[in-house]
Structure 1
Amino acid sequence: MSSLRMPQGFVKQLNGESADAALRHEIVEEQAAALGRMGRKAEAALAALRAHEGEGRAQVLKAAADAVWCFLVQREVLGLRDRAAIVAQFDIPREVMIRLGAK
């Protein structure tokens, strides 16, 4: 992650609260972007799993479980703990759910 230090000239123009608010806003933007990236990665992995049959499915299943696990952890870090809604929205199959976190 890159440094979030504001230019000193800009900081001098703002009072402490405004600088704090700007930093908080940038952090929230980055959190939302990271969650979006993880969600898209989970969706892509689940789509690949649905399209894959036969040999090599175990590898695709593992990739889907890993992507979903990362997405759910990212959500929990942000305080979004309703897994049931995500499982339903993403139509996450049971075979993925039982592998979450397994290494």
Structure 2
Amino acid sequence: MVKPEAGTAALDNEIMAERASSLGAAEAKVIAAMSALATAGTDNTTALAHGRSVVWAYFVHRELIGFRQHTEVIQSLNIPPEVIAGLGAIEKRQ
């Protein structure tokens, strides 16, 4: 006898694995950007803008998966207040 729920369970597991993998990759980008920002300093506008962009994308990714609170990751990834203050801001292109 064919059990359709067995097929959907396998698919659900595959989807969950992809979500975890993509979230891990986004977090790795945040870690790299925060490391570069720590080296360059928050006065470096390029590093700061990149950090804001990467963190914003990571937070959107987390929210799409269902994680609405970011306080713990802000602390654990050492995301500085200067980054948080400019999340979602788009710089004027010339």
> Could you tell me the TM-score, scaled by structure 2's length?
0.88
| Stretches of 4+ aligned residues off by more than 4 angstroms | none
**Equivalent-residue separation in structure 2 for 1:81 and 1:70 (angstroms):** 14
> Quick check: 1:35 aligned with 2:27?
no
Where does the alignment leave 5 or more consecutive residues of structure 2 unmatched? Answer: none
Residues 12-41 of structure 1: per-residue CA shift (max 9 Å, x gap):
x95211110000000000000000000000
The 3 A distance-change label for structure 1 pair 43 and 75 is same
> Quick check: 1:94 aligned with 2:81?
yes
Which of 25, 38, 45 is the matching residue for 2:33? Answer: 45
Larger Rg, first or second structure (1 or 2): 1
Where does the alignment leave 5 or more consecutive residues of structure 1 unmatched? Answer: 1-12
SS in 2 for 1:102: coil
Task: Trace 1:56-71 onto structure 2 (pairs within 5 A).
Answer: 57-71=44-58
**Equivalent-residue separation in structure 1 for 2:73 and 2:42 (angstroms):** 27
Task: Name the Cα RMSD after superposition.
Answer: 1.8
State the one-letter code of the partner of 1:78.
I
Q: Hey, what does 2:63 align to over in structure 1? A: 76
Residues 35-85 of structure 1: per-residue CA shift (max 9 Å, x gap):
000000001001000001498x11111111111111111111111111111
The 3 A distance-change label for structure 1 pair 83 and 54 is closer
> Could you tell me the TM-score, scaled by structure 1's length?
0.81
* Number of residues of Structure 1 aligned to a counterpart in Structure 2: 90
Post-superposition shift, 1:94?
0.8
Identity fraction in percent: 33
